[in-house]
Amino acid sequence: MAYYISDRQNLASSKERSKYKPFSVLTPGCRWIEAPICFGHPLFVSMCDIFVSECISDSPVIYPIIPDGCLSVIFYGDGAFEYGTVCGTTDRIKKLTLIPGWKYMIFRFMPGASAAFLKCDINDITNNSISVEDGVRNGDRLISISGRDLDISEKALQMSRILKIDKRRKETDYLIRYCTENIFRNNGNIMIADLSEKTGFSDRYLGKIFEKYIGISPKTYAEIIRLQSSLYRIFDKTNHDSLMNIALDSGYFDHAHMNRNYNKFLFCSSGELRKKGFSALDYSKIEPYIYSYENDKQKGA
């Protein structure tokens, strides 16, 4: 079946970047530095953000990883970047334990924009992680660059030559971009059947494409985008709306519907989160984002 693109090609333009900005938590006890990704940067279209976090606390700090549909590449080490891990898309909250004195440089890729440089299938690392050497083509070169005495922007620029995004546009590129942008613009409140009708592909085919290039189903991705939208409203200090109104504005049927979504993805209610922030979470019940953390901690000791 041919894919009718028409003016939708604009969505996959090499000059256009999605306006999707995943919700992030600024955790106390850490120093944050973000690298600007401006027009003309080789990773401009494919990246959500690049930032460095340094744990300046005397004790480990737990950083919550909110489901966002993104794949991340993380470099970390004791004062210098020694290790690298590819973290797949998550469909539940994870935790990244930041060790005192260690630095973490995080590359967060737009949904569907990382298949070009991976050596594995994205759905193989959903809710999981793999070393950069095993997961990325020329991953050893990335580790080498991460350890150089350069500022974060220069490191990102040099790494972009390895994290190449294939410039040859395929049918699936347009399809993924069109679907993810429609889901984002509608705050996750769109039926997959509607996307199927607009693209000319079946629900089943869209599901396969999402699993292959994003790591989760289109329905789960839409739920995550709705969650992201509600989080911005809940943590907006100028927003004094009730949780019921926030739920309705975010596209949930009611407050109970939003709470079911929060318990599914974050393991807590929206009320607890609004009242206590992410300290409301029971981190003992949350899985680590990087599974080799304990081994790396011992190596760095």
Query: In which band, very low, low, confident or very high, does the pLDDT at 152 lie, cut at 50, 70 and 90?
Result: confident
Residue 204: inside a domain? yes
As given in the structure block, the two tokens for residue 70 are: 């993104």
pLDDT (0 to 100) of residue 86: 96
Using the predicted structure, report yes or no on whether residue 15 has a pLDDT greater than 60: no
Residues 222 and 135 in one domain: no
Residues 78 and 103 in one domain: yes
The count of structural domains within the chain is 2
Residue 12: inside a domain? no
Residues 222 and 159 in one domain: no
Residue 1: inside a domain? no
Residue 29: inside a domain? yes
Mean pLDDT of 259-284: 95
pLDDT (0 to 100) of residue 27: 87
Greater pLDDT, 293 or 101: 101
Which positions ≥6 away from 194 have C-beta within 8 Å? none
* Pairwise CA distance, residues 21 & 12, whole Å: 17
Coil, helix or strand at residue 298:
helix
Q: Specify which residues 136 forms β-bridges with.
A: 118
* Pairwise CA distance, residues 94 & 206, whole Å: 26
Mean pLDDT of 269-281: 95
Residue 77: inside a domain? yes
Please give, one letter per residue, the 3-state secondary structure of 280-297.
Answer: HCCHHHCCECCCCHHHHH
Residues 76 and 32 in one domain: yes
Query: In which band, very low, low, confident or very high, does the pLDDT at 165 lie, cut at 50, 70 and 90?
Result: low
Which positions ≥6 away from 290 have C-beta within 8 Å? 74, 76, 85, 87, 96, 129, 296
Characterize the bridge pairing of strands 61-65 and 94-98: antiparallel
* Pairwise CA distance, residues 149 & 162, whole Å: 18
pLDDT (0 to 100) of residue 9: 39
Please give, one letter per residue, the 3-state secondary structure of 88-127.
Answer: CCCCCCEEEEECCCEEEEEEEECCCCCCCCECCCHHHCCC
Query: In which band, very low, low, confident or very high, does the pLDDT at 43 lie, cut at 50, 70 and 90?
Result: confident
Residues 146 and 208 in one domain: no
pLDDT (0 to 100) of residue 157: 86
Residue 132: inside a domain? yes
* Pairwise CA distance, residues 122 & 87, whole Å: 10
* Residues constituting the chain: 301
Residues 178 and 159 in one domain: no
Using the predicted structure, report yes or no on whether residue 270 has a pLDDT greater than 60: yes
Residues 36 and 80 in one domain: yes
Query: In which band, very low, low, confident or very high, does the pLDDT at 287 lie, cut at 50, 70 and 90?
Result: very high
Residue 264: inside a domain? yes
Residues 24 and 133 in one domain: yes
Write down the mean pLDDT value for the chain.
Answer: 87
Determine what percent of the chain is predicted with pLDDT higher than 70. 89
pLDDT (0 to 100) of residue 75: 95
Mean pLDDT of 4-21: 56
**CA triplet 26, 91, 237: central angle to 5 degrees?**
35
Greater pLDDT, 205 or 115: 205
Q: Specify which residues 30 forms β-bridges with.
A: 55
Residues 94 and 229 in one domain: no
Residues 219 and 123 in one domain: no
Using the predicted structure, report yes or no on whether residue 168 has a pLDDT greater than 80: no
Using the predicted structure, report yes or no on whether residue 155 has a pLDDT greater than 60: yes
Residues 149 and 23 in one domain: yes
Determine what percent of the chain is predicted with pLDDT higher than 90. 68
CATH number, domain containing residue 241: 1.10.10.60
pLDDT digits (tens, 9 = 90+) for 175-186: 998 999 999 999
For 125, 243, 245, the CA distances from 252, given in Å and listed in that order, are 29, 11, 10
Residue 2: inside a domain? no
Which domain does 226 fall in, by range? Answer: 171-280
Residues 107 and 252 in one domain: no
In what order do the strands lie in the sheet containing 102-109?
30-35, 47-55, 102-109, 71-78, 83-87, 129-131
Mean pLDDT of 77-91: 93
